Structure 1
Amino acid sequence: MDSDGDSNESTNTNPRMEDDEPDLDEKYPNRPRNHSSTLPFHVLFQSLFNPLSEIKKKPAGAGPGPARKKVGPHGLSSANLNPVEKRRDVIERFISRWRTAVGDDIYPAFRLILPDKDRDRAMYGIKEKAIGKLLIRIMKIDKNSEDALNLLNWKLPGQTTTSSMAGDFAGRCYEVLSKRPMRTEVGDMTIEDVNEKLDQLSAASKEDQQLQILMEFYRRMNPEELMWLIRIILRQMKVGATERTFFDVWHPDAENLYSTSSSLRRVCWELHDPNIRLEAEDRGITLMQCFQPQLAQFQMHSLDRMVSRMKPTEDDPVFWIEEKLDGERMQLHMMSNDSVPGRRTFRFWSRKAKDYTYLYGNGIYDENGALTRYLKDAFADGVESLILDGEMITWDTEQDAIAPFGTLKTAAISEQRNPYSSTTRPLFRIFDILYLNGRDLTRYTLRDRRNALQKTIKPVHRRFEIHSYEEATGKTEVEEALRRVVEEASEGLVIKNPRSPYRLNERHDDWMKVKPEYMTEFGESLDVIVIGGYYGSGHRGGSLSSFLCGLRVDDTHSSQGGAATKCYSFCKVGGGFTAADYANIRHHTDGKWHEWNPKKPPTTYIELAGGDAQHERPDMWIKPEDSVVLCVKAASVAVSDMFRIGLTLRFPRFKRLRMDKDWKSALSVQEFLDLKANAEQERKEKEFNVDNSRKKRAKRDTKKPLVIAGNNANAEAQYVEPSGHIFDGLNFYITTDSNAPVKKSKAELEQLVKANGGKFFQTNHAAPNTICVADRRTVKAASLQKSGNVDIIRPSWILDCIRQNEIDGGLPNFLLPLEPRHIFFATEDKKEEIASSVDRFQDSYARNTTSDELREILKQMGKDDPFDISQHPEVARKLIERIQEKVNAGWEMPSGWLFKGLTILFAENDQVDDTESEETTQAHQPYRLHLARNTARFAGANVVNSPKSLSVTHIVVAPTSTSSDISSIRKSYSPESGKKVPHLVTVEWIEECWKQHTLLDEEGFQPPRGA
């Protein structure tokens, strides 16, 4: 996802937070009041939506026809207005009619006109397919009928529907509804009626509730009304006029207020009089009030042109380069609680103004917060309030890298439930500060704001960090950075003008995206075969808009041998096509497409990944000999189990149609693998080093420094570590910073080496026996790794050596042996030596283990134990038989096998509840029962907490159990219950069996029978 992007939530996960009427009156004391009821709903589309749609369809200069010969706002006939003026004319006449017939409160209408901007109504939790299923039930049509299939498969061309409606779900609904309308004339529902029902729909959580609401709409609306209602529910109006046009016609300050508040209600209620302008203090951002963030401009084709747009000057030619993160744009608001010292209140909003506070936390002590619980010490002294702009990403602690965007919500929920132990977590990367201690900073330059940010935030490792940037003066640095992000499979770059202010709700040249897929300098052009197609939506509806492409299987890879007979799926291509390209492909493949049948896939011609799962299954398929060859370009090759090759292209884009080639001359699997290997070899040989002769430009002091209370602006952060001699005579080449166990920059690591007797160099060839250090796969690290003859260690080895040296009292030249956790890459000769330095649980033989490491080691001890015979049932059976033979011959039963094969439930009174955790259950048990439980587990029993387990052989009754408790347990295991009746015994049975080293007869240890 783009750094200025936002997730497309289809479910209503955020609790609805609506103000009740008294609170609204208090918050908006001057809110407008309508003198009459709202207009009928059909007026909206008859006088607004339909006219705007007609203007959208007609080319510039085309007149609206005889029915539209009305006078515009400037006394001109509507026929003489351009499309922009026509749109304004339609909107002005609707607003004028509303003011006259209803009043000044246009909020009820704007909620339906601009449904995607209405933040006061929660998401409905239904999309096209769910609505289609509900309509099928409402109209009582056979789910296998043509109309039902057309609704459920709305992207495909229908059997009896017009092709223009394919890809337009609301239009497809109109076609089906028109055949069986409840009413043909427009209905009697007012705009207020529709709003009330939509409020109910947004609160409905069950399908039957949604069905009843849509049923009432069906009874009271005609098909055209229902079509527009569905577009409102889906928040996909597309009438040809943006919210900016509506806002501009409504009030000259409307767009500004929406940018700073994201509140459609405020725009309608505070700016109902066009003659009353917004006060100066209301034009800026406000704490605890969501605003519309600045967005990055789309990329230009020329890097030279992009750099020139950064407005460099002779005195200050610098611009900034940031990595573009694959997460969700997020703004964080924080304010201190005056009544409770140390308490802070947090709010989180996405770019689309969705409130995520429920997920990330509203305070430091919010137990449900996936992030805020870690921010107690994240702010400098004196910081009372602030607004931060950044990106929420998912961090994978095992890979120590950013995880894909789609895992963000899952990671946050996992962090809520299992704090400190989840392998993925939300990480907030901050790249701007916009408000600090009551002051709006948006008018300050980016450089000033970044200086304030550095003094305000105390980063929390891998939870709350300041996003880094590098300074540049020309396109060479951009190209180098872009090569790096391509190598590391990152999202792209954002270049920023450090002299620029923050522009709310704008795309501006001050921030510009640079994505690998747009660049012509990188990647390979590949000739691939079209083997499948996918139907599009919207203006691409009803036709194939993207294509599944494959590589032909050569003799080596063909499972059948001989000449190639099929293609393996390789990539999906949907970008870069023009209308002429689509027409050309249709012309050459017309009549040759077949519908994909999942039950009978065309494996003779096409092979997908996933076996029966059929990953990336297309809507239509075509034989390779009937198809066309596309030339595509991509940023890089990526590993993927979604395609049969096991690899795919990252950011593939169509370049041209290769009519000079047939499918037999297109790229084969082996040719692609050879091409990939050659490209990697060339990349290794090509130097990507930045010119180190040009020193990094020193950062300028801000002209108007922002001083934070309690912060000494002149204090320099010093890195103090004890000096030593453990690295005497060693040479280091450090290529990256340290990510774990602590964050340290490359410069800090180099100073640590120097302080402890070592030397560091900027290349591995500068000194003999140089130790190469890296913690992530950069271009330099990758180049070293691909050479295959260099061991690369992680910075953690340096830190561990220093730490162990301090513990041992400064032994001279004591270097720890390398452990697997210290290795970024090792040669084959080194791997065996490294593995011998730890035990099978990765516990070091030479180094003191930290508490965090010990916790992880203990966790691993329960996993994949090679000595756990439960993993080898046949071995276990024979071993038990052998032990039993020995016991029968007079041997004593081994203590660890005494209760082997038994499943025991410990019941304390009637509190056996499978919803309780084991810790909770044990906390309430008497000590005697607790000891018996541990004894049973040690002696090989399978101890369970739930009476629902069907394998229970014994139930041990607590000493405090009453006769009614025992009677209840017996009844639950009566023959009528269908469960196998286990032995019911007292705790003495466990104790005596253990004491006598044998299983005793349960008859002598039964609890007394209850009434």
Structure 2
Amino acid sequence: MSDLDDTEMRDDDAVHEEHMMYGHGTLTEQELDEKYPNRPHNHSKTIPFHELYLTLFNPLNDNKKRPTGPVTARKKQGPHGPRMSPNEIRKGIIERFISRWRKDVGNDIYPAFRLIVPEKDRDRAMYGLKEMTLGKLLVRVMKIDKNSDDGYNLLHWKLPGVKSSSAMAGDFAGRCFEVISKRPMRTSPGNMTIGEVNELLDRLSVTQKEENQRPIIEEFYKRMNAEELIWLIRMILRQMKVGATEKTIFDLWHPDAENLFNISSSLRRVCWELYNTDVMLEGDDKGIALMQCFQPQLAAFQMRSMEIMVSRMNPTENDPEFWIEEKLDGERMQLHMIEDEAMPGGKRFSFWSRKAKDYTYLYGNGFNDDNAALTRHIKDAFNDGVRNIVLDGEMITWDPTQDAMVGFGTLKTAALSEQKNPFAGGNRPLFRVFDCLLLNDVVLTHYTLRKRREALAASINNIHRRLEIHEYTKARSAAEIEPLLRKVVAESSEGLVLKNPRSAYRLNERNDDWMKVKPEYMTEFGEALDCIVVGGYYGSGKRGGRLSSFMCGLRLDDEFFSQKTNPQKTWSFFKVGGGFSASDYAEIRHHTEGKWIDWDFKNPPKDWVELGGGWERQYEKPDVWIKPEDSVVISVKAASAGTTDQFRCGVTLRFPRFKKLRLDKDWKSALSWNEFCTVKVRAEEEKKEKQFKVDDERKKRTSTKRKRTVVIQGHEDDVQAPYAGPATKVFDGLSFCTLTECARPKKSKADLEQLVKANGGNVVASDKDPKTIIIADRKLVKVASVQKRDEKNIIRPSWLFDCIRQSESDIGRAGLLLPLEPYHLFYTVTAEGGKYDENVDEFGDSYARDVTTEELLALFSKMPAMVENDFDGLLEQFNEHGQELNAMPGWMFQGFTIYCDDIPAEAKRLLEFAGGRLVQSLGDDELTHVVLQPGNSRVREIRKQLAPKRRQPRIVTDAWVTDSWEERTLLDEERYAPV
């Protein structure tokens, strides 16, 4: 169907809806038609909003719970034909939605995509609504007393609810559903279309005042049921998590969709220019363009060793060179400049951040922009002949009085100050450029970095402390990295970036051509700092409803006090949430229970704790606070200290990590402000004298309790003692006839019969009773006779072992037997063929029991690598929020090089599974840890071998590995040192 035919066949409702959706934006419909002359028009109204979650979101989320991987040969056929993998099901759900949209609505899927991937919609402004503001609006819309139970639950969504499910604490959408479902205006899905929802959301995005936002939220409340409203709230917060990545959705829309988004950051263009799958991007359309925000290349995360990182850059014999740049602590920024005769000065600029936020209003649109924080200062930056250019770099904050870079978090404040008073001499934005991607209409992304740098040097002049080309150092071996890392650390920098000069620029990729190198924990503050806990924050998700992180403060010294000042008054210093085990939380609760006080913004505890930003702003305000005399002292390790305005001390710890609880100290002996200043000055002096070294006591702490490993007789190859009576009653009332021994693990027929008796079962010699369960693991004459009769299933001994092991769980104690699985059956009667396949998934993973480590490894070995994952994106989020790689359980031992001396196989598997690198020699240069069993006779010998090393590895028992995994956080090694 041609565009003309499509337009002529549009119904009046479709035309009206399109005008409603697109007629109130920054561009009129006529302007949109001029800018996108080939944009599609829908022939019918958009589908109802509730169809999004009924046919797309809910099915995708249900499918997300399935494991991914191949379909086993045994399970390829289902009752209705071939079975599909979760990945195939996911694609099918999305394809059906897209196909239905094209058929029932038309080719313009932009209205739907704006709601499906709202975080990618750059055309709609931010709503300015976070959980707290939305909670207040909903309280007013539903006319709930804010002091009522539901009002309290909504406004304090992170706190344990009053008469509310504790599972909802920390889940704002879940808490909203809980409250809204009690008083819905509708119980069935509403009649709002996707087009109507978009029109209201457009209005909401341009309305910043609460009195104007409230009627819009009221309209949604009147016309939607509770489930619709929850999905709407997720769209507003841009926290969808629908069970499919935008890459999957883009790929199923059009093969070139992801590429177009990478070069344009425009969801609108993806939908309007690529609605026809027969039309592909060609030539210039596939590359970046002037005044069009692109998704920049990213640096990969640090690897185990610098030698590996250098080798990944594919050096050649003729060109072994790589480049080293200082990693800047600012905001990634792209600058676009074109000639424009209409602009004073003849040049027009645009600035975008990595998240595609337009910052032109802040840094300036031209040389003569009186409101520019940057462009009015860089008139001489571009050489003659540069008509247009696209630059990639980092916008940082520079302190001209100290002639030094200022840490992240001060950039926007400095830029706003520079706008108002450009010659005051205060902190200013400085643009450090490290790449040139377009020059005089020629796209350079496919050229090597070396060539792009040559173009950059030929085009740009440094404007001192305003716009500068970022310097780099040429290197040929990994040994050249460490001295530079020492240098930048001494200057309080972020670290380094290694770059391959032979590489092209790859949009929106994180690959081995650019790699980060960051210093690990430093010995800047010697041992740990002992600080007093003065505030608490409730967690979300797994930690919802409980205090999951704490504010620590520094007590003030005598010179700060007058006669009227409370001697227990503290200044806020830092917030810590990593390194706590369940037992640590329990012990802190035990010592502080009943002593926490809700923080009242209007009436803060001025005599007890002072926050950053003063009483007007109250930065880093905790949910609850506690008097020092009622509190506890905790020992904390940190990477470094840096200046901040978020805490009253004016300085805070970077990457603080809980080490241990100091019950031997009270508030009077905790660290004071003067003591910290002394420690800091001493540390700075030592840094000048010594080279930095990696601190092996990194972000961990100890657990005081090691859980006993459950051992079930029959599962171990070497049983030290006979079975000591019935451990469970799992086989109560059942009779077993055992025909053969067990092959693996090797158990005799007598062993199996003893196992049955010990767990409540009866042993019989005949299988004549139809209720008797037959156990066998080999095809002997008696077994063949049973098979020939085809009357009874023959069960393997593995079912006995699994039932006993599962009896340790609540299910087992409830007296429920495990359902039979295909691998439990030595022989299945013809009448029950395939009956037990439904008790496992397509990979053979049980739905009813916990699989062993060995079984899990066997399952994984049959699965290919997941097609869809976004590990890099996830790690990047951790990095951006000041979290560390080791904070993730699956990466807990990443970066550690470990020698294991005769430890259990389970501990070894955990080390490797969670990112650790196991080595065979104590002489390995990268060695960080030695793990052994308690009582190992080689401890003294090992210490002697390690003594010459400059960096001493930590020696710990294998309990450190298993306990860290159990607690899902790295624990401190000191208390796991072998005796």
TM value normalised by structure 1: 0.59
Name 1:375's counterpart in structure 2: 378
Name 2:146's counterpart in structure 1: 143
Asked whether the 8 Å contact 1:186–1:221 carries over to 2, the reply is yes
The alpha-carbon deviation at position 684 of structure 1 amounts to: 3.9
**Distance (Å, rounded) in 1 between the aligned partners of 2:442 and 2:645:** 50
Residues 955-1002 of structure 1 deviation map (CA, whole Å, 9 limit, x = unaligned): xxxxxxxxxxxxxxxxxxxxxxxxxxxxxxxxxxxxxxxxxxxxxxxx
Asked whether the 8 Å contact 2:331–2:394 carries over to 1, the reply is yes
Name 2:60's counterpart in structure 1: 52
Residues 661-681 of structure 1 deviation map (CA, whole Å, 9 limit, x = unaligned): 666998644775665455445
Quick one: which amino acid aligns to residue 376 of structure 2?
R
Asked whether the 8 Å contact 2:490–2:687 carries over to 1, the reply is no
- Pairing 1:494–2:497 present: yes
Matches within 5 A, 1:583-598: 591=593, 594-598=596-600
Name 1:764's counterpart in structure 2: none
**Distance (Å, rounded) in 2 between the aligned partners of 1:61 and 1:439:** 44
**Distance (Å, rounded) in 2 between the aligned partners of 1:285 and 1:70:** 48
Residues 674-696 of structure 1 deviation map (CA, whole Å, 9 limit, x = unaligned): 6545544533432689xxxxxxx
Residues 601-627 of structure 1 deviation map (CA, whole Å, 9 limit, x = unaligned): 789997877886776443234577886
**Distance (Å, rounded) in 2 between the aligned partners of 1:256 and 1:54:** 29
Q: Secondary structure at the match of 1:534?
A: strand
Counterpart of 2:26 (choices 5, 18, 25) is 18
Quick one: which amino acid aligns to residue 489 of structure 2?
V
The alpha-carbon deviation at position 374 of structure 1 amounts to: 3.0
Name 1:319's counterpart in structure 2: 322
**Distance (Å, rounded) in 2 between the aligned partners of 1:570 and 1:487:** 26
Counterpart of 1:223 (choices 223, 226, 231) is 226
The alpha-carbon deviation at position 456 of structure 1 amounts to: 0.4
Q: Secondary structure at the match of 1:224?
A: helix
Asked whether the 8 Å contact 1:632–1:652 carries over to 2, the reply is no
The alpha-carbon deviation at position 655 of structure 1 amounts to: 5.8
Residues 171-217 of structure 1 deviation map (CA, whole Å, 9 limit, x = unaligned): 22222212221111110000011011111112224322211111111
- Pairing 1:572–2:574 present: yes
Change (3 A) 1:125 1:688: closer
The alpha-carbon deviation at position 354 of structure 1 amounts to: 1.7
| 130-139 or 103-112: bigger deviation | 130-139
Asked whether the 8 Å contact 1:568–1:608 carries over to 2, the reply is no
The alpha-carbon deviation at position 371 of structure 1 amounts to: 2.4
Name 2:263's counterpart in structure 1: 260
Unaligned runs of 5+ in 1: 1-15, 64-68, 690-1011
Change (3 A) 1:531 1:111: same
Asked whether the 8 Å contact 1:551–1:569 carries over to 2, the reply is yes
**Distance (Å, rounded) in 1 between the aligned partners of 2:397 and 2:538:** 32
Name 2:44's counterpart in structure 1: 36
Change (3 A) 1:327 1:682: closer
Quick one: which amino acid aligns to residue 378 of structure 2?
L
- Pairing 1:633–2:637 present: yes
Quick one: which amino acid aligns to residue 179 of structure 1?
K
| 566-575 or 274-283: bigger deviation | 566-575
Change (3 A) 1:398 1:522: closer
Asked whether the 8 Å contact 2:525–2:683 carries over to 1, the reply is no
Matches within 5 A, 1:904-915: none
Quick one: which amino acid aligns to residue 514 of structure 1?
V
The alpha-carbon deviation at position 297 of structure 1 amounts to: 2.1
Counterpart of 2:509 (choices 487, 506, 510) is 506
Name 1:77's counterpart in structure 2: 83
Name 2:450's counterpart in structure 1: 447
Q: Secondary structure at the match of 1:94?
A: helix
Residues 86-124 of structure 1 deviation map (CA, whole Å, 9 limit, x = unaligned): 432322222222222222221110000011111111222
**Distance (Å, rounded) in 2 between the aligned partners of 1:484 and 1:311:** 26
Change (3 A) 1:315 1:666: farther
Change (3 A) 1:315 1:671: farther
The alpha-carbon deviation at position 457 of structure 1 amounts to: 0.4
Asked whether the 8 Å contact 1:379–1:456 carries over to 2, the reply is yes
- Pairing 1:619–2:627 present: no
Residues 268-305 of structure 1 deviation map (CA, whole Å, 9 limit, x = unaligned): 12222333322233211111111111122233354444
Q: Secondary structure at the match of 1:179?
A: coil
Residues 473-500 of structure 1 deviation map (CA, whole Å, 9 limit, x = unaligned): 4455443333333333333332322222
Matches within 5 A, 1:765-780: none
Quick one: which amino acid aligns to residue 636 of structure 1?
S
Residues 864-904 of structure 1 deviation map (CA, whole Å, 9 limit, x = unaligned): xxxxxxxxxxxxxxxxxxxxxxxxxxxxxxxxxxxxxxxxx
Name the Cα RMSD after superposition: 3.9
Q: Secondary structure at the match of 2:549?
A: strand
Matches within 5 A, 1:704-853: none
Asked whether the 8 Å contact 1:166–1:542 carries over to 2, the reply is yes
Q: Secondary structure at the match of 1:495?
A: strand
The alpha-carbon deviation at position 504 of structure 1 amounts to: 0.4
- Pairing 1:239–2:245 present: no
Name 1:686's counterpart in structure 2: 690
**Distance (Å, rounded) in 1 between the aligned partners of 2:631 and 2:478:** 41
- Pairing 1:201–2:204 present: yes
- Pairing 1:365–2:371 present: no
Unaligned runs of 5+ in 2: 1-23, 72-76, 694-979
**Distance (Å, rounded) in 1 between the aligned partners of 2:635 and 2:461:** 50
- Pairing 1:176–2:140 present: no
Change (3 A) 1:124 1:452: same
Asked whether the 8 Å contact 1:388–1:433 carries over to 2, the reply is yes
Q: Secondary structure at the match of 2:126?
A: coil
Q: Secondary structure at the match of 2:289?
A: coil
**Distance (Å, rounded) in 1 between the aligned partners of 2:569 and 2:595:** 16
**Distance (Å, rounded) in 2 between the aligned partners of 1:649 and 1:244:** 39
Asked whether the 8 Å contact 1:637–1:647 carries over to 2, the reply is no
Change (3 A) 1:62 1:535: farther
Name 1:740's counterpart in structure 2: none
Change (3 A) 1:367 1:531: closer
- Pairing 1:290–2:293 present: yes
Matches within 5 A, 1:77-476: 77-78=83-84, 81-82=85-86, 84-337=87-340, 343-421=346-424, 423-476=426-479
**Distance (Å, rounded) in 1 between the aligned partners of 2:67 and 2:596:** 37
Change (3 A) 1:49 1:404: same
Change (3 A) 1:642 1:441: closer
Asked whether the 8 Å contact 1:36–1:103 carries over to 2, the reply is yes
Change (3 A) 1:89 1:19: same
The alpha-carbon deviation at position 62 of structure 1 amounts to: 13
| 619-628 or 250-259: bigger deviation | 619-628
Quick one: which amino acid aligns to residue 382 of structure 2?
F
Change (3 A) 1:660 1:503: farther
TM value normalised by structure 2: 0.61
The alpha-carbon deviation at position 168 of structure 1 amounts to: 2.3
